[in-house]
Amino acid sequence: MPFLKRKKITTRDILLQEISDTRQELDAAYSLFENVVDPDLISSSIYRINSIQDRYKYLMKQLKAGEAGK
């Protein structure tokens, strides 16, 4: 029986997964923002969206920096 070759997980793969997860989290945060009416929850949702957007920007910079280094 031949052995299955496993793909080596690279830093790029990890970054791509993190970016995907972050985009899903951002979609959820936008959904929450669109459905809340309490001013405190609106403020909290905006804070969360901004935080997730900052993480997304950071991950994209890391991905681009890794691709530029090749």
The DSSP H or E segment spanning 58 is helix 39-68
Q: Is the confidence at residue 67, as pLDDT, over 90?
A: no
Q: Is the confidence at residue 3, as pLDDT, over 70?
A: no
Give the span between the Cα atoms of 13 and 21, in whole angstroms. 12
> What's the confidence (pLDDT) of residue 51?
98
Per-residue pLDDT tens over the stretch 37-62: 999 999 999 999 999 999 999 999 99
DSSP per-residue letters across 15-47: HHHHHHHHHHHHHHHHHHHHH--SHHHHHHHHH
Instruction: Provide mean pLDDT across the span 9-17.
Output: 92
pTM equals: 0.83
Looking at every residue in the chain, the average pLDDT score rounds to 91
